[in-house]
Structure 1
Amino acid sequence: MVLTDTHTHLYYETDTDKRAQMMQRCLENNIGRLFLPNVDAASVPMMFDLVKTYPDACYPMLGLHPCSVKDDWEEELAVIQPAMHQHKIYAVGEIGIDLYWDKTFLTQQVQAFKLQIQWAKTLKLPIVIHCRDAFDEVYQVLHDEHDENLRGIFHCFTGTLEQASKVTALGFYLGIGGVVTYKNAGLDKILPQIDLKHVVLETDSPYLTPVPYRGKPNESAYLIYVAQKVAELYQISVEDVARITTENSEKIFGV
């Protein structure tokens, strides 16, 4: 059994001993594939350092997180874009729109999102989308940019069944994480109505920690609890969840 964490910021842990322990816990829980999105220019070397240390388990992605889009967003991208050509990467992300904290830079977020989508198309890579309180805005961009080269993951999906249908109709997969284990999140009602062929698993560590560790820092090893909850909802084995969602991740990332 191999589980794939399609979205983890494990590189935030800079203590090499703690990081090694985290990776060991991943192996103990059959999590053998970790996809790492940076968030800004400063996090690029941190991410690649982890990839260099664990090349058989870690796969890098590059992009500018919408919460990192400020007045200097073009300067940030001027640092990130060259790295896309200097290193092997597996997706452009995480990119998108976030209106939860601040709506000040919506125009710039849309511009950065569209530009990075173009980069992904040129590189023939999938995108990994961050969307918070901005589904309509994100969907409009995807609708405008839609063609046979646009594909990827709608990271941390927590929306409605209608939104899920719109996303999957565009050929995107739904990234399901710790929120599925939360009692009143509602995702447990929606997910069983979506074919598992549209789903991948993620942690978004160190955020969105699943039950039973909610309230504590998340880590990729906790993906097992997400997988167990998904298995329960679909009434299939954890092994089947691991197989199907890992196969889905292989289709997206090509590895």
Structure 2
Amino acid sequence: MFLTDTHTHLYYETDEVKQAELMQRCLDSDVTRLFLPNVDIASIAKIDALVQKYPDNCFAMAGLHPCDVKEDYELVLDEICESLMDRQIYAIGEIGIDLYWDKTTLDFQKAAFKEQIKWAKDLDLPIVIHCREAFAEVFEVLEQEKDEQLRGILHCFTGNLDQALKAIELGFYLGIGGVVTYKNGGLEDVLKHIPLEHIVLETDSPYLAPVPYRGKPNESSYLVFIAQKVADIYGVSVEEIARVTTSNSKKIFLV
């Protein structure tokens, strides 16, 4: 069995010993593929260092997180874009719109989102979308940008069934994480209507730890708890969940 964590910030742990322990727990739990979303300029080097240490297990993305989109976003995007020339990346992400923390930067966020979608199309890469309290705004941009190249993952999906179906219609997989294990998370009722072929698994570590670790720092090895919950919802084995969701991740990232 091989599990794929399509979204983990494992590189946030900079202590080499602790980082190595996190990775070993992943491998011991059959979590052998980890995709690393970029959030700002500083995280590029951290991601690259982790990829260098674990080239068979860790895969880089590049992008500017919407919470890091400020007035100088164009200069930041220029620097991130420049890094694309010298690195192997597998997606543009995480990008999108977040209106939970700051609604005043919406225009900047939309512009940055569209610019990074253009990168993805130019490089024929998927995008990984961060969407928090902004489904209408994200879907508006995706409708404007929709074509045969637009594809990817709606990361940390916590929406309703209509929003799930809309994302799938637009060519996106749903990233299912720890929230699926929460008693009032709402995802179980949504997934009952969504074929397994449209989802991938993620932890978003160190955030959103699944039960039984809810409220504590998350880590990629905990993906097994998410996989077990999803297996329970679909009435299949964990091995089948691992097989299908890893296959889905390969279709998205082409690795």
1:1-255 matches, cutoff 5 A: 1-255=1-255
Q: TM-score, normalised by structure 1?
A: 0.99
SS at match of 1:153: strand
Counterpart of 2:233 in structure 1: which amino acid? L
SS at match of 1:205: coil
Percent sequence identity is 65
Deviation at 1:206, TM superposition (A): 0.3
**Number of residue pairs the alignment of both structures matches:** 255
Deviation at 1:78, TM superposition (A): 1.4
Counterpart of 2:54 in structure 1: which amino acid? Y
Structure-1 separation of matches of 2:190 and 2:126: 25
Counterpart of 1:188 in structure 2: which amino acid? E
Deviation at 1:185, TM superposition (A): 1.1
Structure-1 separation of matches of 2:83 and 2:32: 25
Deviation at 1:191, TM superposition (A): 0.9
Counterpart of 1:102 in structure 2: which amino acid? D
Structure-2 separation of matches of 1:254 and 1:135: 27
Counterpart of 2:151 in structure 1: which amino acid? R
CA RMSD of aligned residues (A): 0.5
Structure-1 separation of matches of 2:122 and 2:75: 20
- Uncovered stretches (5+) of structure 2, i.e. residues with no partner: none
Moved more, 173-182 or 38-47: 38-47
Post-superposition CA distance 1:187-228 (Å, at most 9, x none): 111112100000000000000000000111000000000000
Structure-1 separation of matches of 2:7 and 2:212: 20
Q: TM-score, normalised by structure 2?
A: 0.99
Deviation at 1:101, TM superposition (A): 0.7
SS at match of 1:90: strand
Post-superposition CA distance 1:95-123 (Å, at most 9, x none): 00000011010000000000000010000
